[in-house]
Amino acid sequence: MTDVDVAAIRSDWAGTEFETATFEIDAGRLVDWAAACGETDPRFVDPDHPDFQAHPNFTACLGTGRMLPEDFPRFGDGFGIDGGKTVNVHGAVRPGDTLTGRASVHDVYDKTGRSGTMVFIIHRMDFVNDAGESVSTVDSKMIRRL
């Protein structure tokens, strides 16, 4: 597909939830993630700390396996490139929590620059804990060239 109507794709797909997954959180995984990030604060690396919790960007490593719905329009060359992630923390993630993550297409927009037109697709994962409290929102930006 070379003629892509980005506004129509946005209209049809923005806000569409397409997959849900649950994640059991254990202390070892939290420590491993924090250590891989170079963290030294005991709140994130010492399970015996009274306020032990996940590193703020921990939920960026959790996903459902799909970045887009199965029937999302295909366009551009290849799978696209990773345009980065944004993690918004709403509450602490602790060992023993069961998180539910809901994947959605948050936004679709285009930008034209020196190298041509690129389409940005924002994949959003909203995470809630077992009490139904929002703990994190992770936006992943995928970029496709037209």
Domain that holds residue 116: 6-25+64-145
137 close to 126: Cβ distance less than 8 angstroms: yes
The pLDDT value recorded for residue 1 is 44
Q: Give me the amino acid identity at 29.
A: R
Residue at 53 is within a domain: no
The pLDDT value recorded for residue 115 is 83
Residue at 96 is within a domain: yes
Confidence (pTM): 0.92
Q: How far apart are CA 133 and CA 136, in angstroms?
A: 9
CATH number at residue 82: 3.10.129.10
Q: What angle do CA 6, 10, 15 make, to 5 degrees?
A: 160
Residues 6+ apart with CB under 8 A from 112: 118
Q: How far apart are CA 35 and CA 69, in angstroms?
A: 33
Residue at 81 is within a domain: yes
Q: How far apart are CA 48 and CA 87, in angstroms?
A: 26
- How many domains does one find in the chain? 1
Phi and psi torsions of 123, nearest 5°: -95, 125
Phi and psi torsions of 22, nearest 5°: -115, 150
Q: How far apart are CA 56 and CA 53, in angstroms?
A: 9
Note down pLDDT in tens along the chain; length 146 residues: 458 999 999 999 999 999 999 999 999 999 999 999 999 999 999 999 999 999 999 999 999 989 999 999 988 777 789 999 999 999 999 999 999 999 999 999 999 989 889 999 999 999 999 999 999 999 999 999 88
Nearest to 82 by CA among 123, 37, 125: 123
Residue at 40 is within a domain: no
The pLDDT value recorded for residue 116 is 87
Q: Give me the amino acid identity at 135.
A: V
Residue at 86 is within a domain: yes
